[in-house]
Structure 1
Amino acid sequence: MYTYYDLLQQIKIYGTFIYTGDRESDLALITEEVKTLKSNGLFSSKEYSQAMVIIMQEKTRVQ
């Protein structure tokens, strides 16, 4: 997982589709979904770390 698109594809595997039309809201929802996937044991520590880095990069890009 290297890009925002890769992250979206990864969470789609678990049945989560996020699109609100507002990138900041999307990122907030994706952050919560990634945390949930990690707490449920579906994301490894490495995947969680990569996802959070991607989210932070996107948040920087949006602002």
Structure 2
Amino acid sequence: MKNLYDVQQLLKRFGTYVYIGKRIWDIEVMALELDHLHEAKLISNDEFISAKLVLTKEHRIEADKTK
């Protein structure tokens, strides 16, 4: 997984569409959804880790923009 779009496509496979309206909030909700999918063992550890890394990077970028 390389970017936020890839994470969105992963979530879409499970019927999860996230749009809150503010990008940083979208990223936070996507992270929660990923946690739930991982706890339910619906995604592999590799998918989980790579998606969380992408979300962490994107969250940091958005947080820096608001400063």
TM bucket, shorter chain: over 0.9
Unmatched segments (≥5 aa) in structure 2: none
Relative to the length of structure 2, the TM-score reads 0.88
Name the Cα RMSD after superposition: 0.8
- Report how many aligned residue pairs link the two structures: 63
Aligned to 1:50: 50
The structure having more radius of gyration, on CA atoms, is 2
TM value normalised by structure 1: 0.93
- Aligned match of 1:60: 60
Within 5 Å, give how 1:1-63 maps onto structure 2: 1-63=1-63
Alpha-carbon separation, structure 2, partners of 1:57 and 1:25: 14
